[in-house]
Structure 1
């Protein structure tokens, strides 16, 4: 039985959240903004905080009973049935260095599981939207159309994307090395943009580690709604409990092959 369709009002609100964050990011892009270092040594700017503030205000006005889990201002009403997970600028390091390949991430969880995900690329003006009960869509200056993953004959023919090899530490490093060694091509960089490229059929695998919930929860509805597979490294659906290691593939057989390599002793 197919999943129930995500309510239209939630889809509409997700679009408004992304539009608000996009406006802030576009206004501040390539400005001389002060950059602070957070406790985890990741950078943050006034643009990150302004964007998340605008998004939180829209949620509070539309659904004051919903929870929010945001990168910049933490968690409120965590026990709500519906919780919005926000990363106002995913790829702040790119944003502060004038690189346009940063995005805004919006996820909506119901009972801890993602039912809606949105990737918005403010400077490219591109957007992927996935939600339960419907196909993923991709929107750019040409309009909106369905996004679909591509088939892959196996890892030997696969293009693998990851933000950085430095995210694979400890036992994750040899696991990633096995996967990288079996693939045809491995490319780094991209942050959230990688997941959109996979959903639109331009790559085969995205593998990452050391992610926070707001870094990955938007992606599962997008990838699965485009015909792909997204799990953690144990093959389980992603959720708030995911340990930060995720694996996406457009082709289910390719996903299974990659998962086996990640789990090999």
Structure 2
């Protein structure tokens, strides 16, 4: 499958999932709690509708491919090509009417993240990457379609860095102290954003994203975007990020190394 055909198919997945999800945004939608008494983990009819349409299209067009999705589980996850889907990354923002959520569509080839897209149908923008380049597409100041290449910004030290995490309360047990060590060293720390934070890193607006307790569908689509923009995404021990866990993304390898040193203490 040629890259241009692959990208076009992902764009179609994003369009159709957006059509399924967007009618529910900023409505009186009910959110069920998947946590079973733990930290509130909402799921909505919009989540399920968005994933269902993507899974149906993938199965029709690529029946030999695997699928890992947040809402409907795994199907042939060890296939050479595997689609990793999160229909609404940032459901808490979605049900609060905040536009910092997005649909994550990632693809792995033999376990390596090879293509990813984050689509936000409400703001009409998308961030995509294949590990060697990354692109933003949206609406420009003249209200016409626009696009530009994504590039991380240089950041020589933690003292000059802007750090984001979705929220410290969501960090996995035993990781908060490590996060706080890095947070104490940076110039600015901001909370919120989910997948948007990673895309803002790829776009050169922030320098670090540190989180823990992630699943593959939370991060796989974002890896080729950040790497395509010149950044780096690893686990806290410096390993591959495709299986999730404790994740650090950085635009500059110098800040990545400095943050890792503090996380490992």
Calculate the TM-score normalised by the size of structure 2: 0.93
* 1:30 matched to 2:29: no
Kept after mapping to 2: 8 A contact 1:228/1:249: yes
Kept after mapping to 2: 8 A contact 1:6/1:115: no
Indicate how the Cα distance of structure 1 residues 65 and 204 shifts in structure 2: closer, same or farther if over 3 A, else same: same
Give the match for residue 206 of structure 1: 209
Give me the CA root mean square deviation: 1.4
Give the match for residue 61 of structure 2: 62
Aligned pairs (5 A) from 1:1-80: 7-39=3-35, 41-80=40-79
Kept after mapping to 2: 8 A contact 1:6/1:131: no
Kept after mapping to 1: 8 A contact 2:93/2:100: yes
Distance in 1 of aligned mates of 2:223 and 2:63:
25
C-alpha displacement at 1:68, in angstroms?
0.5
Distance in 1 of aligned mates of 2:52 and 2:79:
20
Q: Secondary structure at the residue paired with 2:184?
A: helix
Give the match for residue 113 of structure 1: 112
Distance in 2 of aligned mates of 1:121 and 1:85:
17
Give the match for residue 146 of structure 1: 149
C-alpha displacement at 1:38, in angstroms?
1.5
Kept after mapping to 1: 8 A contact 2:135/2:150: yes
Q: Secondary structure at the residue paired with 2:213?
A: coil
Which of these residues, 114, 133, 136, is aligned with residue 135 of structure 1? 133
Calculate the TM-score normalised by the size of structure 1: 0.93
Q: Secondary structure at the residue paired with 2:27?
A: coil
* 1:237 matched to 2:236: no
* CA deviations over 1:213-248 (Å, ceiling 9, x no partner): 1111111111110011110101112122x4x11101
